[in-house]
Chains A and B, each alone.
Chain A
Amino acid sequence: MSKELLTGWGRTAPARAERRSPSSVDDVQAAFAERRPVIGRGLGRSYGDPAQVSGGLVLDNRALSEVHHFDATTGIITAGAGLSLDDLLRITMPAGWFVPVTPGTRQVTLAGAVAADVHGKNHHVDGSFGQHVLRLTMVTPSGVFEITPSSDPDLFWATVGGMGLTGFITQVTVQLIAIETDKVLVDTRRLNSLDEVMRELKESDATHRYSVAWVDCMTTGRHMGRGIITRGEHARVSDLDSPSLTGPSVAKLTVPFDAPSGLLNPLSIKIFNEAWFRVAPVHKDRQVQSISTFFHPLDGINDWNRLYGRRGFVQYQFAVPDSASEMVVTAIDQLSASKVPSFLAVLKRFGPGSPGHLSFPMAGWTLALDLPVGPAALPRVLDELDELVLGAGGRLYLAKDARLDGRHLRAMYPRVDEFLSVKARVDPENLFTSDLARRLDLIRK
């Protein structure tokens, strides 16, 4: 038990709260008895403020990381909700099983993956994480629930994507996918315009399980939105000379201190973008890459968020339907014209969304931007992008958000009231809240 200053991965808007590490259902229920605002927290990889509640209790789930059951013939695993995908893969990959959905980092807990209903490069084929969860155990102020998508669909889908606001998840059962090797066969294309990038990405919906594009949001004119598409499939034994099945590698590098704010500035990011673009092959097929290189490149560097310095950074990620493809072009145009530096813009395809009330993905496009805090124009530029997203019938990803105006929440997430009525059933006094929920006026407490 300790009082600590907590922030999300973007290191903005710190809040002091009391952090506890429950190791049993009793510990969690004891916390409820204090009637203080409470929220769960895993590895703190959401960017903004969903895993903190200033002045309240933050329940760290990492003591709940035991693997209760792993069936290597069916690929079904039941584990404590604080188990990270990284640790999970160390156990399951040697047996030939991979997570059905992985975000850009393995450093998320199962509970975090459920609460944010995370997506990966295969969303257009496999959907989001919650769609592969078979069973959840959660402790709420109204009691302990062990639920499946069919036993209590309301609570299940309010919890999937529910940003931890329905209760504290203690156990998760997931159906994994079979892999023959620990490698991915990757096709790369370097493309000179946004049009080409979007066309190729859309075409690969049907041809590739995994696809993603890195887009340059700082080049204006003819090459605006130029990018690199990478697409992959799990390699089969027959694809490789010496097939192997081992868990992910361990990060070798660490950022030892906060870089000066401003290290990532328009010039340095432009240089980086140029180099990143030039280094990529124009056209390369069936390149063998490790799971880490393909799915989790940034996991190779511990604490990489410190590169953004003390002021931190925000990630802006929106989704818009296919009917609004033009909006992606307008957004990138507006962003590159604004001269606000943006690093590592990632464009992806989404398939149909999950039934999660507050789940983010919707069929169409998603663009994610990393933006250092500092430029005076940034708050306004993002407010203007919000208007574009709203106009296109799109939404922002709550796991990334740190600055959305709460007035827009219901337009982006029309099922908020449905979500709140399920929450009222299991948490009638709204003990579960977070700085995110307060900021967006989702829960007025």
Chain B
Amino acid sequence: MENAFGQPQTVIVFGGTSDISHAVTLRLVKQRARRLVLAGRSADSLAARGAELTAAGATDITTVIFDASRPEQAGDTVTEAFDALGAPADLVVIAVGLLGDQLAMENDAAASAEMAAVNYSWPVAAIAEIRRRLIAQGSGRILVYSSVAAIRVRRDNYLYAGAKAGLDRFCEGVADSLVGTGVSIQVVRPGMVRSKMTAGMKDVPFTTSIDECADNIVKGLGTSAGVITSPSILKWVFLALLHLPRPVWRKLSATK
């Protein structure tokens, strides 16, 4: 069970091999998390991540393989993960995401569809099943990775940011539907983080390291905040950016 400080003991992570998500899980294991289910695409990377978590103090780690480009299978994947956990889930993390190369994909219908599937449809389908299970359980938290890019979509990453924006707004409605159920949902909006997902991209203002970002997220998990922004100053920066006239935003946000 989650304790008084919002520290979970049982955690399921979908997309558990991403750098940020792993750094967060590692911190949770150092607090109270002991029993975990890691779900991801590659058995090898899951095993490597699992070994690190075991070394940090996790006692019970199971892995589940899934493909986030197949939203129609999300319900089964969630069921498999809950069964593997075998206990009430205190925290369920949805960290799946695909950034991709916008310019290479924007004229490609199949690639665009995959971007929508991984960044929007799979999480939406998964949340439907997670939400149902946690409500029956009477407690639990869902943590969903969005992005500050979802606050105002820009020309250079609209496939990614547009899908994340959909997911982000979707979670607002889910949050309202959960009031009084004992279950809550929190959305994380990280700014630019130096990780393997952003390798080769140049730093923008307020870029953080993986560790800083993970610290901010874990801190947010200990609260009832509906949205966790990392670093928190970006909440105000993007509030301002959101109100810029479109032409100004277009020029300012152009990176190429």
In the complex, whether B87 has a CB less than 8 A from a CB of chain A is: yes
| Complex interface bits, A204-241 against B, C-beta within 8 A gives 1, otherwise 0 | 00000000000000000000000000000000000000
B87 surroundings in chain A (CB, below 8 A): 438, 444
Q: Which of B9, B32, B224 is in CB contact (< 8 Å) with A310?
A: B224
Q: Which residue of chain A has the shortest Cβ distance to B219 in the bound complex?
A: A376
In the complex, whether A135 has a CB less than 8 A from a CB of chain B is: no
In the complex, whether A49 has a CB less than 8 A from a CB of chain B is: yes
B2 surroundings in chain A (CB, below 8 A): 13, 439
Give the complex CA separation of A306 and B183 in angstroms. 22
B208 surroundings in chain A (CB, below 8 A): none
In the complex, whether B247 has a CB less than 8 A from a CB of chain A is: no
In the complex, whether B1 has a CB less than 8 A from a CB of chain A is: yes
Interface contact B138-A56, CB-CB below 8 Å: yes
In the complex, whether B139 has a CB less than 8 A from a CB of chain A is: yes
In the complex, whether A297 has a CB less than 8 A from a CB of chain B is: no
Give the complex CA separation of A54 and B89 in angstroms. 11
Interface contact A54-B138, CB-CB below 8 Å: yes
Interface contact B182-A14, CB-CB below 8 Å: yes
In the complex, whether A312 has a CB less than 8 A from a CB of chain B is: yes
Give the complex CA separation of A63 and B54 in angstroms. 48
| Complex interface bits, B176-208 against A, C-beta within 8 A gives 1, otherwise 0 | 000011110000000000000000000000000
Interface contact B3-A15, CB-CB below 8 Å: no
Interface contact A54-B88, CB-CB below 8 Å: yes
| Complex interface bits, A47-74 against B, C-beta within 8 A gives 1, otherwise 0 | 0110000111000000000000000000
A10 surroundings in chain B (CB, below 8 A): 4
Q: Which residue of chain A has the shortest Cβ distance to B137 in the bound complex?
A: A55
Q: Which of A5, A314, A438 is in CB contact (< 8 Å) with B88?
A: A438
Give the complex CA separation of A10 and B3 in angstroms. 12
Most A C-beta atoms less than 10 A away, residue of B1, B31, B32: B1
In the complex, whether A373 has a CB less than 8 A from a CB of chain B is: yes
A8 to chain B, nearest CB (A): 9
- Of residues 199 to 248 in B, which have CB atoms within 8 Å of A's CB atoms? 219, 222-224
A13 surroundings in chain B (CB, below 8 A): 1-4, 6, 139
In the complex, whether B136 has a CB less than 8 A from a CB of chain A is: yes
Interface contact B139-A16, CB-CB below 8 Å: yes
- Of residues 327 to 342 in A, which have CB atoms within 8 Å of B's CB atoms? none
Check A16/B224 contact, CB under 8 A, given A5-B182, A439-B3.
no
B3 surroundings in chain A (CB, below 8 A): 12-13, 402-403, 439
| Complex interface bits, B78-99 against A, C-beta within 8 A gives 1, otherwise 0 | 0000000001100000000000
In the complex, whether A379 has a CB less than 8 A from a CB of chain B is: yes
In the complex, whether A147 has a CB less than 8 A from a CB of chain B is: no
In the complex, whether B157 has a CB less than 8 A from a CB of chain A is: no
Q: Interface size on B (CB < 8 Å)?
A: 25
Give the complex CA separation of A360 and B6 in angstroms. 25
Give the complex CA separation of A406 and B182 in angstroms. 22
In the complex, whether A405 has a CB less than 8 A from a CB of chain B is: yes
B178 to chain A, nearest CB (A): 10
In the complex, whether A378 has a CB less than 8 A from a CB of chain B is: yes
Q: Which residue of chain A has the shortest Cβ distance to B31 in the bound complex?
A: A379
In the complex, whether B112 has a CB less than 8 A from a CB of chain A is: no
- Of residues 140 to 167 in B, which have CB atoms within 8 Å of A's CB atoms? none
In the complex, whether B18 has a CB less than 8 A from a CB of chain A is: no
B219 surroundings in chain A (CB, below 8 A): 376
Interface contact B1-A49, CB-CB below 8 Å: yes
A34 to chain B, nearest CB (A): 14
Give the complex CA separation of A16 and B181 in angstroms. 6
Check A405/B1 contact, CB under 8 A, given A16-B139, A55-B136.
no
- Of residues 284 to 321 in A, which have CB atoms within 8 Å of B's CB atoms? 310-312, 314
A156 to chain B, nearest CB (A): 28
Interface contact B180-A5, CB-CB below 8 Å: yes
Interface contact A15-B4, CB-CB below 8 Å: no
| Complex interface bits, B29-50 against A, C-beta within 8 A gives 1, otherwise 0 | 0011000000000000000000
Q: Which of B31, B136, B182, B223 is in CB contact (< 8 Å) with A15?
A: B182
15 further A-B contacts with Cβ under 8 Å, apart from A16-B135, A16-B182, A403-B5, are: A5-B182, A10-B4, A13-B3, A13-B4, A14-B139, A14-B182, A15-B1, A54-B182, A55-B137, A373-B5, A376-B222, A379-B7, A379-B222, A403-B4, A435-B1
Q: Which residues of B contact A (CB under 8 A)?
A: 1-7, 9, 31-32, 87-88, 135-139, 180-183, 219, 222-224
